[in-house]
Structure 1
Amino acid sequence: MYNKILVPIDVLEDELTQKVIPHVECLAKLSNAEVVFFHTLPVASAIVNAYSFGFDEFKDKATVQTEQWLHKLMASINLPQEKLSFSIAFGNPRDEILHIAEELKPDLIIIGSRRPNITTHLLGSNAAGVVRSAQTSVLVVR
């Protein structure tokens, strides 16, 4: 059914991530699918403006911390480790999720939704943007 599942997560939203994981485990086991976790680190305008004042060091530290968190998450998942991988990008989460989905061509995107309101049609803004624009199936977990 699925060969590759993309799972965008926010490392700062552990509770939401823990809601997504059972769905990932179940669907990946049923299909023997590869799972790619994806996290986007924000690039605030203040950070961009600080480029000449050590942005590369900030990026390296943020990336290392995120990689450590993702390795810990993958070690806790009940799936073969060779089927798990991750990717990290800097930018707008919705845009980066859509970009990596276009690049990886997953059969399914599993995304958590948080902070729903009427302006995002009762989904989190990133989840809503992915649902509207993705070229593949999206499972939204609450």
Structure 2
Amino acid sequence: MYKSILVPVDIMEDELTHKALEYAVHLAKQSGGKIRLLHVFPMSTSIINSYELGYMELQDKAAVKAKQKLEEIAATIDLPKDRVSYSMSFGSVRDEIVEVTGQIGADVIVIGSKRPNIKTHLLGSNASSIVRYATTSVLIVR
């Protein structure tokens, strides 16, 4: 049923990642699917403006750390290694997730989400934004 499963992860949110991965691994085992982990570095106006101040060096350091963390997470997944991959991107979290979903032909997006609070009520969460814009099924894990 699910041959390609996208799992967006925030490498700073271990609990959310763990919960989402539990579901994704279960789905992958049931259907023989593959899992793609994706970490998105959000781009804000302040970050874009800081390119002049050596941001590219910070970006490179952040990418090295994220790659190490993604490798650690991938190594813990109880699936054959050829069924687990990861990638990183820079940009709008929602847009990058939607774009990668199309690129890899994901059948489902499995994403962890925190319980809503006043901030997410007023501004919205990444998970709710992804649900609105994704062209495939989205499983939100709490």
Using structure 2 for the length normalisation, give the TM-score: 0.90
Which whole-Å CA distance do the structure 2 matches of 1:44 and 1:77 have between them? 32
Confirm or deny that 1:69 pairs with 2:69.
yes
Query: Following the alignment from structure 1 to structure 2, what is the Cα–Cα distance between the partners of residues 92 and 86?
Result: 18
Q: Where does the alignment leave 5 or more consecutive residues of structure 1 unmatched?
A: none
Partner of 1:34: 34
SS of the aligned residue for 2:89 comes to: strand
Find the counterpart in structure 1 of residue 55 from structure 2: 55
Q: Does structure 2 conserve the Cα–Cα contact (< 8 Å) formed by 1:120 and 1:128?
A: no
Residue identity over aligned pairs, in percent, reads 47
Q: How many residues align?
A: 140
1:29, 1:47 → 2: CA distance?
Answer: 39
Shifted more, 68-77 versus 99-108: the winner is 99-108
2:20 corresponds to 1:20: yes
1:93-112 aligned within 5 A: 93-112=93-112
Task: Tell me, in whole angstroms, the C-alpha distance in 2 between the residues paired with 1:120 and 1:12.
Answer: 18
Is 79-88 or 94-103 further displaced after alignment? Answer: 94-103
Shift of 1:115: 4.5
TM-score (norm 1): 0.90
1:83-137 alpha-carbon deviations (Å, 9 max, x no partner): 111111111211211121122220111011125147867xx61110111111111
Q: Which letter does structure 2 place at the counterpart of 1:94?
A: R
**Partners in 2 of 1:44 and 1:31 — Cα distance?**
38
Greater than 4 Å deviation, 4+ residue runs: 118-121
Q: CA RMSD in A?
A: 1.7
Asked if 2 retains the 8 angstrom alpha-carbon contact of 1:41 and 1:88, the reply is yes
Q: Residues 119 and 105 (structure 1 numbering): CA distance in 2 closer, same or farther, change over 3 Å?
A: farther
Q: Distance in 1 between matches of 2:120 and 2:37?
A: 24
In structure 2, the residue corresponding to 1:11 is in which secondary structure?
coil
CA distance in 1 between counterparts of 2:57 and 2:35 reads: 29
Q: Displacement, 1:53?
A: 2.3
User: Structure 1: how far apart are the matches of 2:21 and 2:140?
Assistant: 12
What SS class does the counterpart of residue 50 from structure 1 fall into?
helix
